[in-house]
Amino acid sequence: MTEITFSFAYTYIFVACIVGFLFGIWNWYEVTSIDPFSKRKSDDKEEPLVEHKNEKGEKCIDIMEKTSKLIQQGANTFLMAEYVFLGIFIAIFAVIILLTDNFKVYTALAFIVGAVTSVVSGYIGMYVATRANVRVTYKASCPNDPLKEAFNVAFRGGCVMGFCLVSLALAVLALIIFLYMQVLKPVTVPEFTRMFEFIAGYGLGGSTVALFCRVGGGIYTKAADVGADLVGKNLLGLSEDSPENPATIADNVGDNVGDIAGMGSDLFGSFAEATCAALVVSGTSAELTTGANFFFPLILSASGIFVCIITTFFATNIMTVDKKEKIENTLKYQLIISTILLIPTIYLVATYTLPTHFVFISGIGQNTVEVFSSANGVMICALSGLVCGLIIGYVTDYYTSNAHAPCQELSEACKSGAAINIIQGLALGYLSCVIPIISIAITIFVSFKLGGMYGIAIAALGMLSNLATSLAIDGYGPISDNAGGIAEMSELPDKVRELTDALDAAGNTTAAVGKGFAIGSACLVALSLFGAFITRTGQTVVNILEPIQISALIVGAMLPYAFSALTMKSVGIAASKMCEQVKAQHKRGDTDPSECIRISTEASLTEMILPGLIVSLVIYYYTMITTSSTNFSGHLHSPSLGRTIRA
């Protein structure tokens, strides 16, 4: 193995990030070069609504422009309000970090940078999606290859978020490492370990923002969605995206702030946390801290950017989406192609980046344990995470796509009434967890056996190595969904809505695949963070029969139910207010979407506080009492890694 140098590591990582970011910008140019509103009454046969070159056709385009701007303004209003709240929270938390002796200023700075990067990542995704949606509608109404052109615009819009987010996240983390290396100048293993503990604040900042963005955006989108559907279909007899329903705009805004900005921040948090956990564990290895070998997690992610760029061209330039049946398959092939290309890539990166054999030191002082690993073992860890991600994606597709038996059987159950539908749906949901959980369990076993806690962190990064492609697929869904809503509200011909519905149907399935990736990677990331914690605290055995541990297990098992109950209740309250508002407007004979947007915004911002605080405070409480308890360990004097767990 030829030892890599710092200059090579930095150059490779930053070049990958620059290329990835420029590729995202190029896709953005391809999307924004389409001007849906420049020509209205032309004789150009390539212009939309060629059969309606009259006052009705011009009115349709006017409504498209107005609707698009309302969605943009609504999404921007929500995010700005949410970011003000997050800014206050981040400032307070940064002060708390500064007041803790062991954290010092370096962790606080990394925390702030991680939080800001997460905010920027979410905003980029929202900004792109709210401008790509109307262009998908526009292309779907063109006479020449409308399905192919509309698909390409929606997918390119998702690519902007995917590549810009991954490139930005990786570049900022590499820059922090570079700066801290210059300032702290670590030489010994303990110095490297301490530096990586400081850098772990980057993951904490990203995950803190992700928590509130995911909860706040989720409450917003579901409150608007449920409210719009209930009042439209059940009370007023309107279609899902009827222009007479003022809650429709809020529903479309919710797709962007929840499934775009929220998902972007969520997966950024997973990526940052997994990388930081791997760095913390690698800081205990003399072999990995010799030279630039500890850069393996970042070089792996950088290589993933190049692979995802190649994969993207298969969707936009090689595979032609000229039939509705090809939409979903083209998106699914993105996962297959990227996985196939990443297998030899991971082998090469592991072979030329990692030492042949290396040792991690778990614990401190006299309470230490040596964990042996190898380049080949870590390579298998990354491959197991990659393959596990593909399995989760395809199992999710199998249980959510109408092309497969589970959804077809569920649709048949609907004929027997709501009760049978609910029972069958719940059973289907529970059953869909079996294979993903088994896959994750196998991945954890293999990774822990071959690489210890470092192997689990690398498995998480292996699953996220094609993150740019996964985000592109995930962003495609809300963009297509919005395009259908704009087509309906603009009163475009039925054939336009049929095309956008076909795009949206595939997007709903692929959005579920994206959530499967997020949940699967979160499981591995959580375990890798725990691994980073015990690596530095000397815990090789945890006795769950101790009073603190057994009570923490019970409380931890309760938290998901409390969290879910609070968020579901929040959605119900906001949706009820939305229904009352729409009914009142209907009686007055007006449609004011700004009021519906205000209801969802206020509800999501106020209701997201309690769920987030409950999780944070409970984990903080148990971290503090275990740190001070002799039953747990007399050596738990590294609260910086307790902070990592709280991420």
DSSP 562-622: HHHHHHHHHHHHHHHHHHHHHHHHHHHT---HHHHHHHHHHHHHHHTHHHHHHHHHHHHHH
Instruction: Please list, in sequence order, all residues whose beta carbon lies within 8 angstroms of the beta carbon of residue 155, skipping any fewer than 6 positions away.
Output: 312, 315, 316, 331, 472, 476
Q: For residue 471, is pLDDT > 60?
A: yes
Q: For residue 321, is pLDDT > 70?
A: yes
The residue type found at 549 is Q
Q: What pLDDT was estimated at residue 641?
A: 34
CB-neighbour burial class of residue 250 (10 A; exposed 0-12, middle 13-18, buried 19+): buried
| pLDDT (average), residues 602-609 | 79
Q: What pLDDT was estimated at residue 49?
A: 54
Q: What is the rounded average pLDDT for all residues in the chain?
A: 82
In this predicted model, what pLDDT tens digit does every residue of 505-518 receive, in sequence order?
A: 887 777 777 777 77
First CA to last CA across the chain, in angstroms? 35
| pLDDT (average), residues 141-154 | 87
| pLDDT (average), residues 633-644 | 36
Confidence label for 644 from pLDDT (cuts 50, 70 and 90): very low
Confidence label for 640 from pLDDT (cuts 50, 70 and 90): very low
Q: What pLDDT was estimated at residue 50?
A: 45
In this predicted model, what pLDDT tens digit does every residue of 368-386 receive, in sequence order?
A: 667 788 889 999 999 999 9
Burial 360-388 (b: 16+ CB within 10 A, else e): bbbbbeeeeeebebbbebbbbbbbbbbbb
Q: What pLDDT was estimated at residue 369?
A: 66
In this predicted model, what pLDDT tens digit does every residue of 227-256 receive, in sequence order?
A: 777 776 666 666 666 777 777 888 888 888
CB of 110 closer than 8 Å to CB of 199 = yes
Q: For residue 104, is pLDDT > 60?
A: yes
Q: What pLDDT was estimated at residue 609?
A: 78
Crossing angle for the helix pair 639-646 and 189-199, to the nearest 10 degrees: 40
| pLDDT (average), residues 429-441 | 91
Q: Among 56-70, 418-432, 620-634, where is mean pLDDT lowest?
A: 620-634
Helix, strand counts (H, E) of the chain: 20, 2
In this predicted model, what pLDDT tens digit does every residue of 388-402 receive, in sequence order?
A: 988 988 888 888 877
Whole-number Å distance between alpha carbons of 475 and 27: 13
More confident residue, 493 or 446: 446
Q: What pLDDT was estimated at residue 645?
A: 31
Question: What six digits make up the tokens of 170?
Answer: 């990786």
CB of 512 closer than 8 Å to CB of 331 = no
Most confident by average pLDDT, 8-17, 502-511, 561-570, 620-629: 8-17
371: helix, strand or coil:
strand
| pLDDT (average), residues 577-587 | 81
The pLDDT > 70 percentage for the chain reads 86
Q: For residue 458, is pLDDT > 90?
A: yes
Q: How far is CA 183 from CA 177, 178, 278, 640, in A?
A: 10, 9, 22, 19
- Stated pTM of the model: 0.86
In this predicted model, what pLDDT tens digit does every residue of 44-92 receive, in sequence order?
A: 555 555 455 445 567 777 788 888 888 888 888 888 888 888 888 889 8
Q: What pLDDT was estimated at residue 69?
A: 86
Q: For residue 116, is pLDDT > 80?
A: yes
Q: For residue 21, is pLDDT > 80?
A: yes
| pLDDT (average), residues 445-455 | 88
Whole-number Å distance between alpha carbons of 163 and 399: 28
Confidence label for 174 from pLDDT (cuts 50, 70 and 90): very high
Q: What pLDDT was estimated at residue 628?
A: 57
Confidence label for 634 from pLDDT (cuts 50, 70 and 90): very low
